[in-house]
Structure 1
Amino acid sequence: MSSETRQTVELDIERDFPADCVYVDVLLSRALRRGRASRLLRNQMVVFAADVAMGPANDRYLYDPAAICQTIEVLEGKGGRDITKGPSRFTKGPLRGLEYKHFFQASFMAQNLLNESRKAGPGAIYRKLIRRHGSYAAVDGRRLTQEDLGLITEAFVTDSFERRAAQRAKGPRWGLTGEHLVFARTADGMRYLFVAPHTSAEAELVASARACIADFPALKDVAPGIA
């Protein structure tokens, strides 16, 4: 039999990751306009910048601080193309009143391509080959060349990604999927609270939101259920 020894290590963010603190603070200063980031979100981003994963041992996650800030810039109205789903509201339970927006990073590419390929089916590949060769008859039964393989890859990867990203123009229910940046709208601007996997239990999200009340007391009015 084997046993596993687990240790809890207490980190001092400012002491242990000084360069990452500076990096994240610069990112946030560039991304924010009227909004503010909680201490929790800032520290999450510092830990990620230091290449330290978070979460339980069997479900660790590591997010890109620049990707989080890209979504913050969209929410702040600072420009940039909006390609991800949301914002969406929590409509029930203690989180009601808060919102979340998907943020995207390279590691989420595979799931998005899988989702889009399921939706588009093999027709996307055939249409690509037909545009190149002129007709279905010219494609059907054709021996694939290196060029054809390149076209198939382009249809499956590049075209699928661009098509899914462009769908965001239809509305907040469309676009690339990712993980969640949870935030609140207040009279003084956006309050960015924390990031979390979409699989997080409600109790975990509530605990994270509650921890942000110290920074933003107005959260008790926006989402009374977390107080």
Structure 2
Amino acid sequence: MTVTYNLRFDDGQHWRVLAVEVEAFRERCLLRTPAVRPFTARISLCLWFDLLVLQERYGVTPEEILEPILHLERGEPASGVKPATRFRRPPLKGLWHKHWFSARFLAANMLAAMARGDPKAWLLEIVQEGETLTEDAIARIAERFTTRALEDRDAAKQLTGEWIVFLKRDGANHYLCLATHETGDQRVFDKIINVCSRDFPQIGAWIEEAAA
């Protein structure tokens, strides 16, 4: 039987890729990031398919996601990205997620920094009300609302992107798929049960055990 991986986007676009094509893509990635090879058996082919789609549709390189996975394998040494977090509510209870960060998330992180910060206070750090704006002041305002806003979130370990969903079992991480904040928990769960079970046939029971 021919095995395929399918994904339909909200805009109606449908991606259908043969499993052998996903496997070939995986091998190309492993040539570029050989440190992943020792634990490849713990990475679902579903996740490799997600990587392939991200690369082809959005230009996100696989290394942008494989590096956070290596980070997890090394015990999450300090970085600006949020540490892995466990899902607390069904249907994903028992699973974990790790954010991965890409330049495509810069705008969202800057907006989040401003939403949680005090933009008026930031502005008054540089110029007072009624003061004439100089070129230097404009440059410093731009730097405060962009670079320093990101640095603030980095220092607070609040840089966010999208998720790597994984399961901790027998002292090792099993990497299942990628997801976004908008995907919906049930949709992520159904994807794991229906697709990741090809690589991990007992995934449903594993999730139940982890959630107990």
The verdict on a shared fold, with TM-score over 0.5 as the criterion, is yes
CA contact (8 A) 2:30 2:37 kept: no
Cα displacement string for residues 77-112 of structure 1 (whole angstroms, at most 9, x for unaligned residues)? 177652222412122223221111111111111111
Cα distance 1:201–1:9, how it changes in 2: closer, same or farther (>3 A)? closer
Cα distance 1:96–1:140, how it changes in 2: closer, same or farther (>3 A)? closer
Distance 1:17 1:149 in 2: 51
Cα distance 1:69–1:17, how it changes in 2: closer, same or farther (>3 A)? closer
Structure-2 residue corresponding to 1:184: 167
Greater Rg, structure 1 or structure 2?
1
The one of 20, 26, 29 aligned to 2:31:
26
Structure-1 residue corresponding to 2:121: 123
Structure-1 residue corresponding to 2:152: 163
Does 2:142 match 1:153?
Answer: yes
Distance 1:202 1:212 in 2: 15
CA contact (8 A) 1:181 1:192 kept: yes
Cα distance 1:78–1:93, how it changes in 2: closer, same or farther (>3 A)? closer
Does 2:97 match 1:106?
Answer: no
Contiguous gaps of at least 5 residues in structure 1: 1-5, 54-61, 131-138, 169-174
Distance 1:198 1:27 in 2: 29
Structure-1 residue corresponding to 2:6: none
How many percent identity over aligned positions? 25
Cα displacement string for residues 91-149 of structure 1 (whole angstroms, at most 9, x for unaligned residues)? 2223221111111111111111111112222212322x27xxxxxxxx44321111111
CA contact (8 A) 2:22 2:52 kept: no
SS of equivalent to 2:65: helix
Distance 1:176 1:88 in 2: 14
SS of equivalent to 1:48: helix
Normalised by the length of structure 2, the TM-score is 0.77
Does 2:79 match 1:74?
Answer: no
Distance 1:28 1:194 in 2: 18
Cα distance 1:37–1:149, how it changes in 2: closer, same or farther (>3 A)? same
Cα distance 1:27–1:184, how it changes in 2: closer, same or farther (>3 A)? farther
For residue 188 of structure 1, report the CA deviation from its aligned partner: 4.9
For residue 38 of structure 1, report the CA deviation from its aligned partner: 0.8
Contiguous gaps of at least 5 residues in structure 2: 1-11
Distance 1:162 1:182 in 2: 26
For residue 199 of structure 1, report the CA deviation from its aligned partner: 1.1
Structure-2 residue corresponding to 1:93: 90
Q: Which amino acid aligns with 2:49?
A: N
Q: Which amino acid aligns with 2:72?
A: L
Distance 1:81 1:39 in 2: 29
Q: Which amino acid aligns with 1:118?
A: A
Structure-1 residue corresponding to 2:7: none
Q: Which amino acid aligns with 2:206?
A: V
Aligned length: 196
CA contact (8 A) 2:95 2:166 kept: yes
The one of 190, 197, 200 aligned to 1:213:
197
Distance 1:17 1:31 in 2: 14
SS of equivalent to 2:17: coil
Q: Which amino acid aligns with 2:145?
A: F
**Which structure: greater strand fraction?**
2
For residue 217 of structure 1, report the CA deviation from its aligned partner: 4.0
Cα displacement string for residues 24-45 of structure 1 (whole angstroms, at most 9, x for unaligned residues)? 2335532466573111101221
Distance 2:117 2:14 in 1: 46
Normalised by the length of structure 1, the TM-score is 0.73
